[in-house]
Structure 1
Amino acid sequence: MILREAIIASKIITIRDEKVILDVHLAELYEVETRVLKQAVRRNKDRFPYDFMYELTDAEIDEMVSQNVIPSKRHFGGAVPFAFTENGVAMLSSVLNSKKAIEVNISIMRTFTILRKMILLNKDIMEEINKIRKQMQEQGHNIMLIFQYLKQFEESKQQKTEQENRKRIGFKTDPN
């Protein structure tokens, strides 16, 4: 990942089980004021359905503050922040027509693609780890069975030896 994608990736957070970028971070990347970005979105509200962009709840903002995603609620200047999904970011390119906005949008879309690939790779790795873990548990169980069988074999051998070495009762002939 080049530097720009790394910076963008650091701005992508998970809210409501979706990867999103907050309006304040998008404005920073586009090098515009947050209020300008929000005005453009509000003027084109029909282009941003709920699955493209939504306002955060107070609980979500509090959670972001507690997880150090943002320093405090004042970070938003008293306004309710917008969270843009990948589709919402793509739609922003039709609302913000500057050269900078187009460049940043391309970088953001590439970053989302890279993150998606990383998540899929991580999922594949986790499946492989779980498969290996299951195999190890099965092998551990088989090894325990082998030890149990060895113990039973040793006990039966010891019983047989004790049986042969026991003192016999009854009539005995003296070999001498």
Structure 2
Amino acid sequence: MSDTSLLGVEKAELGPADAQHIEKLVYMVRGQQVMLDYDLARLYQVETKTLNRAASRNSARFPEDFRFQLTREEFDNLRCQIGTSSEETTGHGGRRYLPYAYTEQGISMLSGVLRSDVAVQVSIGIMRAFVEMRKFIANNSLLFERISSVELKQLAFQQETNEKLDRVFDYINTHTESSQKIFFDGQIYDAFSLLIDLIKRAEKDIVLVDGYVDVGTLNLLAKKQSGVVVEIHTFGNTRLTAADIEKFNQQYPQLMVKYTSAFHDRFLILDHKEAYHIGASLKDAGKKCFAVTKLQDLGLLTELLHKLQK
């Protein structure tokens, strides 16, 4: 997203989507939520040196708890955790100093020293993002208490990075089942992770309807629990050979392959109780944009199983 598309016209307020973008730029450093100078400069539409110069000229307004310069160790650790690009960390021609971190109070003060309509509106958007993050933490305080003491210690150790918030969001995601997920071009790892998680959930059997299966598909199905029976329905011209099936059964029994041309879409059925509509062949998951949707209507699952029996 470019600066122009993020900010819109000068007097336009930041919307919810932009607030979500800002939240991704908030990191945990020295136990505080902060934003870095080069991210703020892009939002305010000024050069990083201009932003920091304005703060330095008004140093009385920026005490240590409003603005502080990262140490080399803090900066290196942060770069490793968030995968910051070289352009962001060095700037054009190379950056000669360590970045400054601005706390929520420091960001609020920036709108006064920069003195522009853009600065005012952006600061309002940033303040709202901070408020939403605090609401999120407050509303989920009971959930946080359920995290084991070992996990809490680990989170405290990682407090110097934004990974703390990431772990909290991940914990909530894994404890709140979603009936729909969408993956975009290039999210191969994320797509395969979800499919493996679904495959591991089966306790008795797995039924896969997929016209295009190959050894890559079997590699995913190999993650199933021991003793779970797998039944694949695929096209007759599949790349899967009899030798592939035999080798799989030698190590991960039991696999059965049936050939049909009655299906266009892909389905994954677990224990004859859960069914998922998958927008791409398992072997191609993540290569292009596709979705995974859980079938909520049990009647549809019954019809699907009846069709497969025929």
TM-score above 0.5, yes or no: yes
Aligned residue number for residue 64 of structure 1: 78
Aligned residue number for residue 80 of structure 1: 98
Report how far residue 93 of structure 1 moved: 1.4
Report how far residue 120 of structure 1 moved: 1.5
Aligned residue number for residue 118 of structure 1: 136
Mapped pair 1:7 → 2:21: yes
Q: What are the superposed Cα offsets for residues 105-141 of structure 1, whole Å, 9 maximum, x if unpaired?
A: 00000000000111112322223677xxxxxxxxxxx
Mapped pair 1:55 → 2:69: yes
Q: Give the RMSD, CA atoms, in angstroms.
A: 1.8
Inter-CA distance 102–127: structure 2 relative to 1 (3 Å threshold) = same
One-letter amino acid of the structure 2 residue matched with residue 97 of structure 1: R
Could you say which structure has the greater relative contact order, defined with CA pairs below 8 angstroms and 6 or more residues apart? 1
One-letter amino acid of the structure 2 residue matched with residue 31 of structure 1: Q
Report how far residue 69 of structure 1 moved: 4.5
Alignment of 1:120-159 (within 5 A): 120-127=138-145
Q: What are the superposed Cα offsets for residues 74-102 of structure 1, whole Å, 9 maximum, x if unpaired?
A: 25722221100000011111111100000
Report how far residue 4 of structure 1 moved: 1.3
Mapped pair 1:20 → 2:34: yes
Pairing partner for 2:55 from 29, 33, 41: 41
Q: What are the superposed Cα offsets for residues 21-54 of structure 1, whole Å, 9 maximum, x if unpaired?
A: 0000000100111011011011001100000010
Q: Which has the higher helix share?
A: 1
Distance in 2 between residues matched to 1:101 and 1:31, nearest whole Å:
8
| Structure number with larger C-alpha Rg | 1
Please list every run of 5 or more consecutive structure 2 residues that lacks an aligned counterpart in the other structure. Answer: 1-14, 149-310
One-letter amino acid of the structure 1 residue matched with residue 135 of structure 2: K
Distance in 2 between residues matched to 1:22 and 1:60, nearest whole Å:
12
**SS where residue 53 of structure 2 aligns?**
helix
Aligned residue number for residue 161 of structure 1: none
Distance in 1 between residues matched to 2:137 and 2:74, nearest whole Å:
23
Distance in 1 between residues matched to 2:90 and 2:147, nearest whole Å:
43
Distance in 1 between residues matched to 2:31 and 2:83, nearest whole Å:
16
Distance in 1 between residues matched to 2:138 and 2:117, nearest whole Å:
32
Pairing partner for 1:104 from 122, 145, 167: 122
**SS where residue 21 of structure 1 aligns?**
strand
One-letter amino acid of the structure 2 residue matched with residue 101 of structure 1: A
Inter-CA distance 19–93: structure 2 relative to 1 (3 Å threshold) = same
* TM-score using structure 2 length: 0.40
* TM-score using structure 1 length: 0.69
Moved over 4 A (4+): none
